[in-house]
Every structure is written in structure tokens, then in C-alpha cells.
């Protein structure tokens, strides 16, 4: 992988050098706040290409971060919904067990009523 990256960097360097050497005509460049009286066209092309690449990478990283945050938020919301459903099921199960326990106690009290007024013989 490093070898391929090294070859790619060498190819970009050679292309940049050729671009500067082939486009040797000088022209004036008007920047917003300053003017350059004479600049080689190839150098101007390289500068604009470099600025475009840097700005594109910065914007791309920010956009990817936004998408990544949205994906994480969506995943966490699904987890929250799943946990809420699980919690509701657990509460319903506990309520059913409590109701069954109360029914069992009532049935036992009905079968073996204790008469507190009767005296042993």
C-alpha cells in the first residue's frame, strides 16, 4: 500500500512539474486584496488546484461527520425504542406475577378461612 501511495505521489509531482513547465506564459493575476503583476499560468493552475483539493477535503470531512452523527443518532433512537419495549414487557410481566400472587393468596384464604370467633374445644 505504501508503494502504491509513493508511486501516486511521484506521479502527481511529475504532472505538476510538467504543468508548470508547459504553461510558462506569464499573466497578471488579480486577487481580491492584491494584484500579482506576473505569474506563470502553470503555477496559477497548481495553486488553484491545491486550494480546491484542500477546501474539498475540509468540506468532505465535515459532511461525512454530519452523516456519521445522523447515523449514530438513528441507531441510538432504535436502541432506546427497543429498550422501552423491553421495559414495558418486563413491567407487564411483573404486574401479571403480582396479580397471580394476590389471586393465589385470596384462594388460599377462601379454602382455609380462619374463624377468629370460634374457640377450640
Is 15 contained in some domain? yes
Is 120 contained in some domain? no
- Tell me what pLDDT residue 29 has: 83
Q: Structural domain tally of the chain? A: 1
pLDDT single digits (tens) 33-91 = 888 888 888 888 888 888 988 999 888 888 888 889 999 999 999 999 999 999 999 99
pLDDT single digits (tens) 1-20 = 888 988 988 998 888 888 88
Is the pLDDT at 112 greater than 70? The verdict is: no
**What is the C-alpha separation between 55 and 104, in angstroms, rounded?**
73
Range of the domain at 104: 2-109
Measured CA to CA in angstroms, residue 30 lies from 16, 26, 65 at distances of 23, 13, 35
| 115 — pLDDT class (breaks 50, 70, 90) | low
Is 118 contained in some domain? no
- Tell me what pLDDT residue 82 has: 95
**What is the C-alpha separation between 121 and 112, in angstroms, rounded?**
19
Q: CB–CB of 51/31 below 8 Å?
A: no
Measured CA to CA in angstroms, residue 12 lies from 7, 43, 50, 59 at distances of 9, 14, 11, 22
Using the structure block, give the residue that is written with the C-alpha cell 396479580. Answer: 99
pTM of the model: 0.50
Is 34 contained in some domain? yes
Is 90 contained in some domain? yes
Is 35 contained in some domain? yes
Is 86 contained in some domain? yes
Joined together, the cell numbers standing for residue 10 give 511521484
Is 99 contained in some domain? yes
Amino acid at each position: 500500500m505504501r508503494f502504491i501511495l509513493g508511486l501516486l505521489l511521484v506521479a502527481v509531482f511529475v504532472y505538476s512539474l510538467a504543468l508548470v513547465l508547459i504553461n510558462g506564459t506569464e499573466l497578471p493575476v488579480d486577487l481580491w486584496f492584491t494584484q500579482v503583476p506576473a505569474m506563470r499560468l502553470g503555477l496559477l493552475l497548481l495553486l488553484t488546484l491545491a486550494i480546491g483539493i484542500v477546501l474539498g477535503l475540509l468540506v468532505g470531512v465535515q459532511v461525512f461527520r454530519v452523516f456519521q452523527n445522523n447515523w449514530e443518532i438513528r441507531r441510538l433512537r432504535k436502541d432506546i425504542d427497543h429498550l422501552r419495549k423491553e421495559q414495558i414487557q418486563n413491567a407487564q410481566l411483573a404486574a401479571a406475577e403480582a396479580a397471580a400472587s394476590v389471586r393465589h393468596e385470596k384462594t388460599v384464604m377462601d379454602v382455609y378461612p380462619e374463624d377468629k370467633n370460634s374457640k377450640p374445644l
